[in-house]
Chains A and B, each alone.
Chain A
Amino acid sequence: MFDESRGPDLTDIPSAIAKPKRKSSPQLIWLIPIVAVLIGGWLAVKTILDQGPTITISFETAEGIEAGKTKVKYKNIDIGEVKSVAFSKDLKNIVLKVEMHKGVAPHLVEDVRFWIVKPRISGGQVSGLGTLFSGSYIQMDLGESSTRREEFVGLEVEPPNTDEKPGRQFVLQGKNLGSHDVGTPVLFRRIKVGKVAVNELNQDGSGITLKIFVESPYDKFVNANSRFWDVSGIDITADATGVKVNTEGLMSILLGGIAFEAPAGSGSLPEADPDTAFTLFPDRTAAMKQPDAEMLMFTMYFGESLRGLTVGAPVELNGVGIGEVKSIRTEFSEQLDHFIFPVDVAIFPGRLRAMSRVGVADPTPAEQKARIDKYIENGLRAQLKTGSLLTGQMYISLDLFPKATPAKIDWTRKPAVFPTQPGMMVELQATLMNISKKLEDMPIGQISADLRTALQSLNRTLVGAEQMVKRMDKEVTPAAKSALDDARRMLNTANQTLASDAPLQQDLRTSLRELSRAAESLRELTDLLERQPESLIRGKKESKR
């Protein structure tokens, strides 16, 4: 290792020189832990400062909630995380401790709403699909209050309109839910303009209340006079006006839906305020009926069967619906000997007026009564008519019967009795009855006796005829057979005679040939005579040639 020539001279190694101890401050090294403390302190302070408030949210169930995993989201952005899941003291609720992000702290006010978002497939849409992968999460919706709070009660059901879309919410009162699940579309001229946000049973169970949300800009089409009706599935109505099949498109057949429309002429009404309550009608016809505020009640006694007449059946004047059957009651007749069935009908004069030209002043009740009296005097009567042969539905028709027995309306009775006329069916029945009566009167017994004798004699005749036929068969047939045989023989002979090689034929041919030869000579003779008539006397002249 140490080359002699190049190696350092060991004697040259200088000895270390002691130096006075530099006044280096050993305290400098303590800067390191101080820096560490500063860093650590800074980290700690930062972490504490970054830490948002911890709040508690209680839910009835905490499906899919996991401590340390489940997030709280607002507009799909994480704003917190569930730290622990525990029972409330009475084990009835689940209490979630949630650590919120710092920035959210000022928004944690009293009316902030929390709910658990789960995947849902309904009402024509799939929502919360993300939760299929990431698990449920808790959705937060901002509140408006300014009172801060740290304990919240979570909603079990997603509140309506959390999408924060502009629009308006309306309330619908209906008889039953139909298929209006949350998310069911609200249609306007078959365009989806909103959805059902909440459905709930009324407190007293008398019906359901739906909250629907109509998105902007379509919400302006909802005005005070708008009618909402159920378009779930297929609406098949078979009534006096025939069979009708109504649907609002394939989507609504599958998913149901609610449609709305304002009746014609109400387009200029102001837009409806949010949370206005409307009635949910079962179908469009019901919805679009004029609100018949004014109505005249009448009772009608029909002498005939009311089969096919239902409550709601129309009352028509010349085919125009002006009223409907309200009820069919039962009464004892005045003599208490049989039941009669008065039919209560409501007639809406407003409908007639609506159809008439604008400008007709509403008549006073007295005028109205006078008018009706006049109509009755002219022969206006109610009559039951069959609306549809297919369904047998009946309706009440008001028609003029000038020949009807005179009647008057007794206005003192409530409701007044409207005179009726036996219906076509009754007349038809009477005719049929007449025919059957005549049939009954016919001497069917005698006719049948005569018929029987006639038949018997016919029978006898037939027997005689049969015997005759048999005799003919026995006697005539052999004779006929021999005659036929003779005829055939004769024909055979004739056939033989006429055959081409028969002797008769030969002879005939020969004689014919002779005859033609004779005719030839005769022609020659006549020629000669023509040329030389003298030859007859002088004999044949020899040819010069």
Chain B
Amino acid sequence: MCCQRCGAALHLRKPDSIARTWAFLIAAYILYVPANVLPMMRTGSLFGAQSDTIMSGVVYLWHSGSWHIALVVFIASIVVPLAKMFSLTYLLISVQLGWTTRPLERTKLYRILEFVGPWSMLDVFVVMILVALVQLKGLASIQPGLAVAAFGAVVVLTMFAAMAFDPRLLWEPKERHHV
């Protein structure tokens, strides 16, 4: 179907919702690995170079006493993306298996997912700001690692996945049931 006025395609449901969501989600899963394994940033200072992954940064922060910041980074960079991907997976599976239980709660979960999406970019922002600020030539310099790209891609992909997902699908089995 398409709109008579503007010619936009109209769909009863988002087209290929499940397949697209799966595709984005799997891509996100795959890129999540290098995002965590590869170094996030390389800190070069007068006294040697050091490269940090997300997790090593969290551990470092934790050990150096700023456990609250460690917690924030941990939640924003590790828990949230993971939670997002797991919940999307859960939603997809529930749709595919045609579960009828708690459609309302699952819809709420989806709303939260959409809302939380961009916040995971925190890490990327921090690294970008540091890279831009800390360029003291000989004294210290920070360079972004490949993980930043991977991590950014994970966040974007999960957002796409959330967008591609059609929450109405959650209610379908119920309707069918009614009908």
Contact = CB atoms under 8 A, between A and B. Distances in A.
Pairing of A with B: yes
Interface of A: 14-19, 26, 29-33, 35-37, 39-40, 43-44, 47, 69, 71, 78, 130, 133-135
How many residues of B sit at the interface, in one of the four size bands? 20 to 34
A35 B27 contact: yes
B171 interface: no
B74 to A, nearest CB: 20
Going nearest first, the 5 A-B pairs with the smallest beta carbon separation are: A14-B4, A36-B27, A134-B47, A33-B26, A33-B27
Interface of B: 1-5, 9-10, 15-16, 19-20, 23-24, 26-28, 30-31, 33-34, 37-38, 46-50, 146, 150, 153, 157
B33 A16 contact: no
Given A17-B1, A33-B24, 9 more contacts: A15-B4, A19-B1, A32-B23, A33-B23, A37-B27, A39-B34, A39-B150, A43-B150, A130-B47
Contacts of B27: 32-33, 35-37
Contacts of B150: 39-40, 43
Q: Which of B15, B30, B31, B146 has the most CB of A within 10 A?
A: B30
A14 to B, nearest CB: 3
A333 to B, nearest CB: 80
A71 B48 CA distance: 8
Given A14-B4, A15-B4, A29-B19, A36 B48 contact: no
Contact of B30 (A17, A29, A37, A71): A37
10 contacts: A16-B4, A19-B9, A26-B16, A29-B20, A32-B24, A33-B24, A36-B31, A37-B30, A40-B33, A44-B33
A426 to B, nearest CB: 77
A134 B23 contact: no
Contact of B157 (A15, A32, A37, A78): A32
B48 A30 contact: no
B63 to A, nearest CB: 12
Nearest to B147: A43
A17 B2 CA distance: 6
A474 to B, nearest CB: 111
Q: Which of A31, A39, A44, A135 has the most CB of B within 10 A?
A: A39
B2 A16 contact: yes
Given A37-B30, A40-B30, A18 B1 contact: yes
Contacts of B34: 39-40, 43-44, 47
A54 to B, nearest CB: 17
Given A29-B19, A30-B23, A39 B48 contact: no
A36 B46 contact: no
Contacts of A134: 46-48
B136 to A, nearest CB: 16
Contacts of B50: 69
B170 to A, nearest CB: 20
